[in-house]
Amino acid sequence: MAKNRKKATFHWKRLVALAVNILITRVFVCDCKIHANQKGIDLPDAKDMQHNNPIIFTSIGQLHLSLSATYSKRIRPERVVLNVGHGLKPTIGYFVAPRDGIYLFNFAGLLNDVDIANQCVLLQHMGHEEYDSELTWKLPDPMTLAGHSLVSMKKSEVMEYFGRADSSTTDYLNSLGFLHNNWWRLSGRLIADSNDLDAVAFSVAEIPDDSMESPKEFHWNIGNGFNSAKGTFIAPKAGLYHFFLQFAGQGNQGEARIEKPDLVLAAGLIGEFDEHSVEIDTICKLDEGESVFVSILGKIVVNLNEIKFSGFLVK
């Protein structure tokens, strides 16, 4: 009898634990589905300001805000999935840096372009127009685009996720064919504190067609890994690195690559009549002194103001 009573108590405890887990899971999932404009702006508290606490967020969806009565739409994140550190302000579509540091942002979108005059999605580092990352496309077919921004931000500086689509007709429903919200994503995270002496991160822009020439714009070169004379990243220390290349073509077929001297790490292709943005990325292990660079091949003509090469030491 006592043995059966213990077994019944054990099963009862397991049932209670299962019910609690289900309840917690349902609360978490339901919270993710709350519309952004129903959420308050969650301000950072004292704990979020402390060093060594993670700052990471991700959001999905595109909430359409009219810029004009008939022709334009503005886009901002609709649903917050994760917001550790309270940097993302979902109701206004801003990320406000909780503390000084180096931040990586990744964003992507898919648009069914039926009858569009102009369209873009970009990340704007408020007050620093030279650091903007922009995605553009001029295609009649659905196209998924992705981009990044690797920036050094001071506490309370703002990054805005901004999308805009201008219709050439007055009918929104027929001219703007936005697809499933899960195709629209914005995420970001702190990759290093400003006082991290081991950090290695760089971001350069406007790389000429001859990849051995020096880029015209140097945004960041923390750890001095990017060699401006050679237009090449040379690992200042051994480790695992993550590289991103964002570029846009103006027609003519060709490709852009992230390479080591003996290996193509990643490549992106532009078709003969394509005019749109492309992003490629790669994670690789480098020994101290190994180099990584960008190559532009074929007859592709890149928009210099839309090409950006970035990377950082993961560990």
Q: How large is the average pLDDT for residues 100-120?
A: 71
Among 13-17, 135-139, 155-159, 227-231, the range scoring the smallest mean pLDDT is 13-17
Residue among 192, 175, 206, 183 nearest 309 (CA): 206
**pLDDT band of 147, cuts 50, 70, 90:** confident
pLDDT in tens, 245-257: 988 776 667 788 8
- Determine the pLDDT at residue 67: 52
Distance CA 62, CA 40 (A): 18
Segment 302-312 mean pLDDT: 76
pTM of structure:
0.71
Phi and psi for 212 in degrees, rounded to 5?
Answer: -80, -10
Could you tell me which residues are beta bridge partners of residue 254? 270, 298
Q: In what order do the strands lie in the sheet with 277-286?
A: 217-222, 201-205, 308-313, 239-248, 277-286
Q: Does residue 151 contact residue 131 with C-beta atoms inside 8 Å?
A: yes
User: Which 8-state DSSP code applies to residue 210?
Assistant: S
> Can you tell me the distance from the alpha carbon of 315 to that of 174, in angstroms, rounded to the nearest whole number?
48
| Dist. CA 262–CA 250, nearest whole Å | 29
**pLDDT tier for residue 60 given thresholds of 50, 70 and 90:** confident
CA dihedral 109, 113, 118, 122 (to 10 degrees): 0
Average pLDDT taken over every residue of the chain: 71
Once rounded to an integer, what is the mean pLDDT over residues 182-211?
78
Residue pair 188/87 in contact by the 8 Å Cβ criterion = yes
84-108 per-position pLDDT tens digit: 988 988 777 788 999 999 999 888 7
